[in-house]
Chain A
Amino acid sequence: MTRMVKGYLTFLYRSASLAFVGDWRYYLWVGFLMIVCLLGLNAYAKQFVHGLVITGMSDQVSWGVYIANFTFLVGVAAAAVMLVIPVYIYKNEDLHDLVIFGELLAVAAILMCLGFVMVDLGRPDRFWHLIPGIGKFNFPGSMLSWDVIVLNGYLLLNVYICGYLLYCRYQNKRPSKWFYVPFVFVGMVWAISIHTVTAFLYVGLGGRPFWNSAIVGPRFLASAFTAGPALIILALQITRRVTAIRGSPTEVLRREELGVSRPATLADLDVLACQIPALASVPTEIRQASLPGSTVLDVPPGTTVARQGEMDSDAFFILRGRTTVRRYESGGYRNLGTLGVSDLFGEMAAISGTPRTADVITDENAQVLCMPADALHKLMRDREMKRRILSKMAERIVITDRAILTLRSIVQISMIINVFLLLNEVFKEFYTDSLHVASSKYLYFGLHGYSALNAWIWTAIACNLAAMVLLLLPLTKSLRWLGTACVLAIVGIWIEKGMGLVIPGFIPTPLGEIVEYSPTLNETLICFGIWAFGLLCYTVFLRMAIPILLGTLSKANEPGSDLKGSEEQLEALLQSSIPRRRTVESSRASLTHVETTHP
């Protein structure tokens, strides 16, 4: 028991220590976020002293940009489910590793939500009145009390699932399905519920016709499932760029320079089959089908067969000889291990289309079977073979283009639904043309000469439509354009369900008065502060999670069992757990996380 607790504390300590180290870009980014956080905190200190009077809010428009951000971010948090559903219901392999990115984003988003609710309270000192059991909780009467429960519940669920999966990975243990899959499924329903409840906050108000519309709930979900995955796409692209998860492309090695080659034959596969039982059971016609394009190379010692960063789609089986796997990290090369007969490497690039993550160099005269991606795919038609190859991959973290493109289809479809639902709402309001259209008129065209929101909403509509069109075009299969479309979608939806939903609900007031709202500088600074805080959390979460997922921070490389080692030891530990800064030391534990497999 004590050992378990100690082991867990060591895990927490080592992960947390990671947050304090990184390269200069990391320090720059974290430093920037901290400064914005502090500015926000300073602005909040002012608001705490003077009251909400220093915001742009009034009795007429009694909620502003805080609640607008809150609403948007609940959607972002809920959208993590859009990664979970494909993986756990449709068994999508590409997204498998990325679920944790979505869930960590959900955690950060919920923290921001709680922040925005806190700064919106007139009496933050009385927040304890909201705690069930201690305070006086109006449940189930008030939708806000539902929100308190579902948001905090969702936070706990995601913290638990992420924490459990990461700790298992850290220990190099297979997670027990009983310990997390039920929670994953509860989390799916829960995610839908947090955003539905948030929509019901508005929908339930009979005195505000602009909100009192059944379509608000579905609209919230559609827009959340657009903006959330769009944000995840951006986060993944940035993560890929700045971490070792994907190196930068280098020149592709030419096969003819490697050594003597000849077309592969069935006999070569028979040699492999002696070592790989899964291959032995593959029917001959499938083996035959994988031969065209495959070659056998005789490679002299010291030859680089696969190079880190190259964009190449061949996979290699070793028929004879040994090779060394090494990875270049800032400061120098690091040996990751040795491969022998029947080992497979390069399959990650073949399957995912990502650049190679390590060099493979022959130690002696070797013979390798070079198999193009489509040949490997043919071999994977055999279920057993596919399982063997993919199960090895699933243990690694890899952000594939295919995963990002899967998210693209989600964003694409959600955006179409979102625009469609918006159209429904607009039709109902303007075609009926009852007195209830006043808020919509104010929002889109201005009312009695007041038009502060028109520029906002038309920007949102332009962004949404542009994003939708871009997403429908094959153009966005290129990642740069996809990024653009995602940014447009996020901006469009932020406005649409933030400023475009919360504010017009108050204008005109139930007594027909028009008082406009725009956030003050102080209010805006507080918002930036909370966003910076959320991004800081997400950055730190990823900073801790990625080395664990990559296997560079694991129980296997704990420095002894004593936590209170010397400073130097700690320093070395920290250095060794960052993919980008490690210099020496090889760890057998990391081997499974390179492009190798031992079928």
Chain B
Amino acid sequence: MTRRNFLRTTAVAASGVAAMAAVLAPLRELTDFPSLDQFLQKHYQEMTPPEIEKVLERIAREVERQYGLRPHVRDLKPMNGVEFVYCLNLTRCVGCRKCVHACVAENNQSRSPEIQYIRVLKMPNGTFDMEKADHNYAPETVPQEGSYFMPVQCHQCKNPPCVKVCPVKATWQEADGITVIDYDWCIGCRYCEAACPYWARRFNFAKPSIPKDKLNPNMSYLGNRPRPHGVVEKCHFCIQRTRAGRYPACLEVCPTGARKFGNILDPESEVSYILKNKRVFVLKEEIGTLPRFFYYFDV
């Protein structure tokens, strides 16, 4: 190699490295780079109980580090002989959106950017065309003459398009009918968002932010633990509550009793009674998703 060649090659290589460093400079702001454990973590359904314990412990540690609060992170399994069903009484719903905010608080949803699982539609009387719905009505003025209100959230379909399309099986249907997401397995392709006919799924476009004092420390792996950025989430029927025998937060907060929740396999349950006796319908029945979320009318 001649001296000239050497100098030339060095100059080209040096400017190449410099350009690369300049171009990649934004990466210096990267804070939450996944650890090796996180990177190699297995799919939820493939982890052994001790492995899950380890992961739960890691999540608790991370939450504590970030929010200064030791959470209670569990991995609750479906109960035998239970299949959850939701019924919503359109005659009673007044559109107060208390369910929306109770859900946000219970499920540790990101406040900025804002993520909400429940969308309440204000519909003019006499139509079912959702294009006519008002998504941004002001809640102080409800109930409103000439309108009815229709909250929409994940319908926990028996034939869920979102599960079918997920390329990595990061979302699946559990034995009790709840479609869950492994937030640590989702690759963030958002195909499920495109597939969902109820617009029930939300994506963490940025790192979720929750005020420290607003954090709900009662968490579960498939439920309301704080999500990482870049993954999809949605309503899971408050899995951390309902699998422990409690009602979902949206139901508890509802001031009109429009929301009913229970085990469809129990013939004595409230939801069984409603499905047998009320005028019940599901949204977009023609798509064949077989929702476990029913709407009904009292009068």
A-to-B contact residues, CB < 8 Å: 38-39, 41-42, 45-46, 48-53, 55, 57-60, 62-63, 117, 120-123, 125-127, 129-130, 135-138, 141-145, 148, 201, 204-208, 435, 438, 448, 505-506, 508-513, 567
Across the interface, B166 reaches (CB within 8 A) one of A45, A142, A208, A505, namely A142
> Which residues on the A side are within 8 Å of B169 (C-beta)?
136-138
> Which residues on the B side are within 8 Å of A130 (C-beta)?
167-168, 187
The answer to whether B202 touches A41, judged by C-beta atoms less than 8 angstroms apart, is no
> Which residues on the A side are within 8 Å of B25 (C-beta)?
42, 45
The answer to whether A207 touches B196, judged by C-beta atoms less than 8 angstroms apart, is yes
> Which residues on the B side are within 8 Å of A122 (C-beta)?
186-190, 203-205, 229-232
B-to-A contact residues, CB < 8 Å: 1-2, 5, 19-20, 22-27, 29-30, 34, 39, 43, 46, 113, 119, 121, 129-133, 135, 152, 161, 164-170, 185-191, 193-199, 201-207, 228-232, 284, 287-289
> Which residues on the B side are within 8 Å of A438 (C-beta)?
131
Across the interface, B187 reaches (CB within 8 A) one of A51, A52, A121, A508, namely A121
Across the interface, B194 reaches (CB within 8 A) one of A41, A63, A435, namely A63
The answer to whether A435 touches B195, judged by C-beta atoms less than 8 angstroms apart, is no
Q: From residue A274, how far is it (CB to closest CB) to chain B in Å? A: 56
> Which residues on the B side are within 8 Å of A205 (C-beta)?
161, 165, 194-195
> Which residues on the A side are within 8 Å of B229 (C-beta)?
51, 122
**Distance in angstroms between the alpha carbons of A448 and B113 in the assembled complex:** 26
* Interface of chain B, main secondary structure: loop
Closest residue of chain A to B40 (Cβ to Cβ) is: A128
> Which residues on the B side are within 8 Å of A512 (C-beta)?
121, 129-133
Closest residue of chain A to B195 (Cβ to Cβ) is: A205
**Distance in angstroms between the alpha carbons of A145 and B169 in the assembled complex:** 10
> Which residues on the B side are within 8 Å of A136 (C-beta)?
43, 46, 168-170, 185
Across the interface, B23 reaches (CB within 8 A) one of A42, A53, A508, A510, namely A42
> Which residues on the A side are within 8 Å of B20 (C-beta)?
38
The answer to whether B194 touches A505, judged by C-beta atoms less than 8 angstroms apart, is yes
The answer to whether B185 touches A129, judged by C-beta atoms less than 8 angstroms apart, is yes
Q: From residue A373, how far is it (CB to closest CB) to chain B in Å? A: 49
Q: A45-B27, A46-B26, A121-B189 are in contact. Are A142 and B164 (CB under 8 A)?
A: yes
**Distance in angstroms between the alpha carbons of A129 and B230 in the assembled complex:** 15
The answer to whether A144 touches B185, judged by C-beta atoms less than 8 angstroms apart, is no
**Distance in angstroms between the alpha carbons of A59 and B202 in the assembled complex:** 6
| 20 A-B pairs with C-beta separation under 8 A | A38-B23, A51-B229, A53-B206, A121-B188, A125-B39, A129-B168, A136-B169, A136-B170, A137-B167, A138-B166, A141-B164, A142-B167, A143-B165, A205-B195, A206-B287, A207-B287, A208-B194, A510-B196, A513-B199, A567-B2
Q: From residue A15, how far is it (CB to closest CB) to chain B in Å? A: 20
**Distance in angstroms between the alpha carbons of A398 and B297 in the assembled complex:** 75
Q: From residue A32, how far is it (CB to closest CB) to chain B in Å? A: 14
**Distance in angstroms between the alpha carbons of A593 and B271 in the assembled complex:** 82
- 15 additional contacts (CB under 8 A) given A48-B26, A52-B230, A130-B187: A42-B23, A48-B30, A51-B206, A62-B203, A121-B189, A122-B188, A123-B231, A136-B46, A137-B169, A144-B191, A205-B194, A208-B195, A510-B199, A512-B131, A513-B133
**Distance in angstroms between the alpha carbons of A105 and B1 in the assembled complex:** 36
Across the interface, B193 reaches (CB within 8 A) one of A48, A51, A62, namely A62
The answer to whether B165 touches A142, judged by C-beta atoms less than 8 angstroms apart, is yes
Closest residue of chain A to B5 (Cβ to Cβ) is: A567
Q: A129-B185, A510-B197 are in contact. Are A135 and B206 (CB under 8 A)?
A: no
Q: From residue A57, how far is it (CB to closest CB) to chain B in Å? A: 7
> Which residues on the B side are within 8 Å of A50 (C-beta)?
206
> Which residues on the A side are within 8 Å of B30 (C-beta)?
48-49
The answer to whether B207 touches A51, judged by C-beta atoms less than 8 angstroms apart, is yes
> Which residues on the A side are within 8 Å of B121 (C-beta)?
511-512
**Distance in angstroms between the alpha carbons of A554 and B190 in the assembled complex:** 48
The answer to whether B167 touches A206, judged by C-beta atoms less than 8 angstroms apart, is no
**Distance in angstroms between the alpha carbons of A586 and B24 in the assembled complex:** 47
Q: From residue A143, how far is it (CB to closest CB) to chain B in Å? A: 7
Q: From residue A378, how far is it (CB to closest CB) to chain B in Å? A: 57
**Distance in angstroms between the alpha carbons of A156 and B151 in the assembled complex:** 49
The answer to whether A45 touches B26, judged by C-beta atoms less than 8 angstroms apart, is yes
The answer to whether A126 touches B185, judged by C-beta atoms less than 8 angstroms apart, is yes
Across the interface, B165 reaches (CB within 8 A) one of A58, A60, A117, A204, namely A204
The answer to whether B168 touches A53, judged by C-beta atoms less than 8 angstroms apart, is no
Q: From residue B108, how far is it (CB to closest CB) to chain A in Å? A: 18
Closest residue of chain B to A508 (Cβ to Cβ) is: B131
Which 9 A/B pairs are nearest by Cβ-Cβ distance?
Answer: A122-B188, A207-B197, A122-B230, A512-B130, A53-B206, A144-B167, A53-B205, A512-B131, A45-B26
Identify which of B43, B197, B289 gathers the most chain A CB atoms within 10 Å of its CB: B197
**Distance in angstroms between the alpha carbons of A480 and B152 in the assembled complex:** 57
Q: A49-B30, A53-B206 are in contact. Are A138 and B195 (CB under 8 A)?
A: no
**Distance in angstroms between the alpha carbons of A42 and B203 in the assembled complex:** 24
Q: From residue B285, how far is it (CB to closest CB) to chain A in Å? A: 11
The answer to whether B185 touches A57, judged by C-beta atoms less than 8 angstroms apart, is no
The answer to whether A129 touches B187, judged by C-beta atoms less than 8 angstroms apart, is yes
The answer to whether B129 touches A51, judged by C-beta atoms less than 8 angstroms apart, is no
Q: A52-B205, A130-B187, A204-B165 are in contact. Are A511 and B26 (CB under 8 A)?
A: no
Identify which of A57, A122, A435 gathers the most chain B CB atoms within 10 Å of its CB: A122
Q: From residue B159, how far is it (CB to closest CB) to chain A in Å? A: 10
The answer to whether B167 touches A148, judged by C-beta atoms less than 8 angstroms apart, is yes
Q: A125-B34, A127-B187 are in contact. Are A59 and B203 (CB under 8 A)?
A: yes
Closest residue of chain B to A142 (Cβ to Cβ) is: B167
The answer to whether B168 touches A62, judged by C-beta atoms less than 8 angstroms apart, is no
Closest residue of chain A to B22 (Cβ to Cβ) is: A42
> Which residues on the B side are within 8 Å of A62 (C-beta)?
190, 193-194, 203
> Which residues on the A side are within 8 Å of B287 (C-beta)?
206-207
The answer to whether B196 touches A49, judged by C-beta atoms less than 8 angstroms apart, is no
Across the interface, A48 reaches (CB within 8 A) one of B27, B166, B228, namely B27
Identify which of B26, B202, B284 gathers the most chain A CB atoms within 10 Å of its CB: B26
